[in-house]
Structure 1
Amino acid sequence: MKRSAVLLETLMILATVGQSSWAALSTSSCKEMGSSTYRPHTVTVTEFGAVGDGVTLNTKAFQNAIFYLHSFADKGGAQLFVPAGKWLTGSFSLISHLTISLDKDAVIIGSMDSSDWPVIDPLPSYGRGRELPGGRHQSLIHGSNLTDVIITGGNGTINGQGSVWWDWFNNHILNYTRPHLIELIYSTGVVISNLTFINSPFWAIHPVYCSQVLIQNVTILAPPDSPNTDGIDPDSSSNVCIEDCYISTGDDLIVIKSGWDEYGISYAHPSSNISIRRIVGEAKSGAGIAFGSEMSGGISDVEAEDISLFNSLYGIRIKTSPGRGGYVQYIHISNVVLNNVNIAIGITGQYGEHPDENFDPNALPIIKMITLEDIKGTNIKHAGTLEGIQGDNFSSICLFNVHLNVTSSSPWQCSYIQGSSNLVSPESCEPLRNPYQTSVCYTANHVRTQNLVQAA
């Protein structure tokens, strides 16, 4: 699909989602951030020998340019401009107080040689690579322990050329976990905006152990059969805003994580205070908004609204299992439009594998205070599959003003859950038929109060 067609479809769908405009910024507790920070020093990657012919490998040019700009970090920061062209490169690392800006006709292309993506240590909250024991390939654009980093442009493109990685993965010939397009670790003050990301080898954008992150006005595309090509995965991160994005990938569009089993429990770095607004997309092999399944460090205080999903396997989904520990709580999702979705709402208590044999099967997750309201759906096969864990009921699951046009004769499947509902059609399953009460449900008033506290 051409970019213009994607953007036109995005704008048309957004017109049906609430009254929020495409360009409006969130007024939530997210800190005011933007991509317009002035940098007094600017260089162009061609000044360091880069050639935009799509064939010449430019890794050294990017690395040398960023090394040069490091001297301006305490002088107001610097900008690296990537002009029109096709810029083939391997992985390179960023510095603090840096803006990378892509021209609208600039395409950064990831090398198809795995040796151009170095192998780095596993994340401490995972204990190993997510796909394979041991290390993992470094992301195309990488950074650690950074402050004030902006990756932006005039809707230029970052292309991971992921097809070769998908083939290696499907044929089981990889030695290490696949890389992301962008991964920033232990970083604060991050802005990723006004760019198109295509064909990521693995998850596209992965902020982990980060805070004050804004991801805005991005398009993320990958084929529906590409394996595990999540769009945006905030992981053990706090104060994150994701706004005004179009995402169509081979797995979950936006999924919040916080570590894996005993490693995530021990590292104890939760994801919290996350705002998701004005998202459009399709997830034929995944969910629009998901939580987990790696959530062992905990996930809390998440607000998602003005979401439009179509042609998807799931609408909203929570994934966990015995051994995860952790929690998913204080989640408020509202104003969602679904079309042609197999399962509108999914909660799964028996999902996913374990990193090794050392996990504690008695480490049961806490799933509570989850509210979904103002949800409309057409051509929905199942309204919900809500399955907790025996001996570990998921509680305070609340539905309000949920109206789904369901094609299945068995719209709801529920076990080991507790909660309430009101104005739900088809009528919710029996464990949720208690009256909707603010004392047991995480309501919009709770969200507003939380935002006021955080803003004070």
Structure 2
Amino acid sequence: MIRPSFFAGLVLLALAGPSTSAQVAPLYSWSNLPKIAQPAFQKDTISILAHGAKPDGVTLNTGAINAAIRTCSQKGGGVVLVPAGLWMTGPIELKSNVNLHLKKSATLLFTTDKSQYALAEGVYEGKRAARNQSPLSGTNLENVAITGQGILDGNGDVWRAVHKSQLTESQWKEKIASGGVLKDDGKTWYPSEQFKKVSTENRSMLLTPEKPLSSFADMKDFLRPNLIVLTGCQKVLLEGVTFQNSAAWCLHPLMCQDLTIRNVTVKNPEYAHNGDGMDIESCKNFLIEGCTLDVGDDAICIKSGKDEEGRKRGMPTENGIIRNNTVYNGHGGFVVGSEMSGGARYIFVSNCTFMGTDKGLRFKSVRGRGGIVEHIYAKDIFMKDIAQEAIFFDLYYFVKFATDGQRDERPVVNEGTPVFRDMHFENIVCNGAEKGIFIRGLPEMAVKNINMENLVLVAEKGVELIDASGINLNNVKLVTKETKPVIYVENSSQLTFNAIQYPTKTGLLFKIDGGRSQAIRVTNTDTTTAETKAEFTHGAEEKQFTLAAKK
């Protein structure tokens, strides 16, 4: 499944400067969306009851369920039926041409007995790592599905630590009573003494030639598995089922092709560390539609490997449709990064609702990642009560600034320089956010060529653009409490603000900062209600700011 690296191409494109994509016909558009092939199955059905499974919530049905799946696949495929009941099980391995179908009121409850999960080589944030075997997995399969109206429950609470501040007093008392151990300061609960020791020592789970899998036995309890990992599979369908309580990420398709996730529910507690909903990593041709997510980390997330390993893999996540989804709790509704070193492109997001997420549309990376994220299109996005930014780009993910001078250092552009460019967002409404739009690129590599039109953003603060280029805001209504300024620009260029609406009696409409702020144009905007139209600081020049009369 691993294609030849396009590392050299990434370097050349990053060094090339402004994108020339406008001169090339796009591979896909809203009128020509990617096509995703669907799996098909024989009608033959095998019930797990036929292999001795018992729905009593106590019997460990691992052998029976896996035997039913193997038998079905060996006979040419079909449906493996999980009837109504509470089915306790250990790890399940999917096989080609099998549809694992959960009837309504059927729950696959994965055991809390960690000895059932073998130490296994896996992936953590795009890098080879020691993990426990995932509750449900499949590798290099074709024509596979998990469907129905049942529930897969990962029993994740027994795997993860939790801070006292994340729980109510009664929840905290219940957690302590369940077993486990406390951190020395009494503020963090760990599942075991081994987990505590590894966590406090900050030991790495990454595999290296010097640290083979066998050397991780003494930290096995710390190695939380993703609930579902499908690696290198083709024609995959997840439909109708509820996936919940994962120890780490919930759904993790990796290097898959022709993937459909339809009408599923993904649930994790708000305190679930790394409790992502869906991490679509290095996949090609995918559809995510009609899903509901309420999770502890990023909800619908696009990834493609981390740093050098991701660039060597050379597999972008591409040709995707994400539509008609609802996200409640989550660090971001639709997210790209931060592990996006293989790139992401031609992804179409539409008719999605984000209710109470930390951020809405979230794009994140950092120096050293590399990778090109481009041709991302979003329209008809509706948000309410976003805790932070509605639209967010940041190439300083997890970087703490000691001084402004440190941030403004400009290293040479190289293969580790991330590139975010050529995107179009339209028809976006947000009622409630800390900030409407935040874009922060790198001094050596601006976030560039981002077009946004027909936006209504109700937020504490309006727009902040730092190290950005080719940003076009057209027909944007900003309803902000902070009015000094409504729009802040720092060391950004080739900006167009057309038909901007803002609160009456605004104290300062634009603040332009930095000597690299150039070619800023404001058109079709009534600036007469602002006390001060623009202010220029730290080397910014008024001659770089053009205010055209409103037609």
**TM value normalised by structure 1:** 0.81
- Cα deviation for residue 352 of structure 1 reads 4.7
| Larger Rg belongs to | 2
The residue type paired with residue 302 of structure 1 is I
The residue type paired with residue 244 of structure 2 is I
Whole-Å Cα distance in 2 between the matches of residues 224 and 412 of structure 1?
A: 28
Secondary structure of 1:229's partner?
coil
Corresponding pairs, count: 391
- Cα deviation for residue 158 of structure 1 reads 0.5
- Cα deviation for residue 79 of structure 1 reads 1.4
**Corresponding position: 1:417 with 2:420:** no
Secondary structure of 1:184's partner?
strand
Whole-Å Cα distance in 1 between the matches of residues 132 and 463 of structure 2?
A: 41
**TM value normalised by structure 2:** 0.68
Correspondences of 1:158-237 after superposition (within 5 Å): 158-167=152-161, 168=190, 171=196, 175=220, 177-237=223-283
Quick one: which of 312, 320, 340 aligns to 1:295? 340
Residue 141 of structure 2 is matched in structure 1 by 146
Quick one: which of 23, 26, 31 aligns to 2:36? 31
Whole-Å Cα distance in 2 between the matches of residues 373 and 428 of structure 1?
A: 19
| Paired residues of 2:41 and 2:97 also in contact (CA < 8 A) | no
- Cα deviation for residue 54 of structure 1 reads 1.2
Residue 366 of structure 2 is matched in structure 1 by 321
Quick one: which of 441, 466, 470 aligns to 1:388? 441
Q: 1:335 to 1:367 in 2, by over 3 A?
A: same
Provide, for residues 48-77 of structure 1, a one-character-per-residue CA deviation record: whole Å limited to 9, x for no partner. Answer: 11111111111111122222223212xxx2
RMSD of the alignment, in Å? 2.2
The residue type paired with residue 33 of structure 1 is Q
Q: 1:280 to 1:127 in 2, by over 3 A?
A: closer
Secondary structure of 2:36's partner?
coil
Secondary structure of 2:127's partner?
coil
**Corresponding position: 1:259 with 2:313:** no
The residue type paired with residue 132 of structure 2 is H
Correspondences of 1:98-177 after superposition (within 5 Å): 98-123=98-123, 126-129=126-129, 135-153=130-148, 155-167=149-161, 168=190, 171=196, 175=220, 177=223
| Paired residues of 2:60 and 2:90 also in contact (CA < 8 A) | yes
Residue 59 of structure 2 is matched in structure 1 by 56
- Cα deviation for residue 435 of structure 1 reads 5.7
The residue type paired with residue 424 of structure 1 is V
Quick one: which of 41, 44, 68 aligns to 1:41? 44
> Percent sequence identity over matched residues?
30
Q: Which moved more, 1:288-297 or 1:410-419?
A: 410-419
Provide, for residues 163-205 of structure 1, a one-character-per-residue CA deviation record: whole Å limited to 9, x for no partner. Answer: 1112258845554542122111111000000111111111111
Correspondences of 1:399-418 after superposition (within 5 Å): 399-406=452-459, 408=460, 410-418=461-469
Secondary structure of 1:411's partner?
strand
- Cα deviation for residue 429 of structure 1 reads 4.5
| Paired residues of 1:255 and 1:289 also in contact (CA < 8 A) | yes
- Cα deviation for residue 32 of structure 1 reads 5.0
| Paired residues of 2:125 and 2:339 also in contact (CA < 8 A) | no
Q: Which moved more, 1:196-205 or 1:313-322?
A: 196-205
| Paired residues of 2:386 and 2:432 also in contact (CA < 8 A) | yes
The residue type paired with residue 386 of structure 2 is V
| Paired residues of 2:439 and 2:447 also in contact (CA < 8 A) | no
Q: 1:415 to 1:97 in 2, by over 3 A?
A: same
Secondary structure of 2:309's partner?
helix
Residue 420 of structure 2 is matched in structure 1 by 367
Secondary structure of 2:476's partner?
strand
Whole-Å Cα distance in 2 between the matches of residues 199 and 228 of structure 1?
A: 12
Whole-Å Cα distance in 2 between the matches of residues 93 and 216 of structure 1?
A: 21
Secondary structure of 1:200's partner?
coil
Provide, for residues 386-417 of structure 1, a one-character-per-residue CA deviation record: whole Å limited to 9, x for no partner. Answer: 111121111112211111111x2x32232111
| Paired residues of 2:41 and 2:98 also in contact (CA < 8 A) | no
Whole-Å Cα distance in 2 between the matches of residues 182 and 55 of structure 1?
A: 22
Whole-Å Cα distance in 2 between the matches of residues 243 and 124 of structure 1?
A: 26
Q: 1:124 to 1:106 in 2, by over 3 A?
A: closer
Secondary structure of 1:62's partner?
helix
Whole-Å Cα distance in 2 between the matches of residues 94 and 255 of structure 1?
A: 24
Q: Which runs of 5+ in 1 are unaligned?
A: 1-25, 130-134, 354-359, 437-456
Whole-Å Cα distance in 2 between the matches of residues 414 and 27 of structure 1?
A: 32
Whole-Å Cα distance in 1 between the matches of residues 356 and 497 of structure 2?
A: 32
Whole-Å Cα distance in 1 between the matches of residues 256 and 37 of structure 2?
A: 16
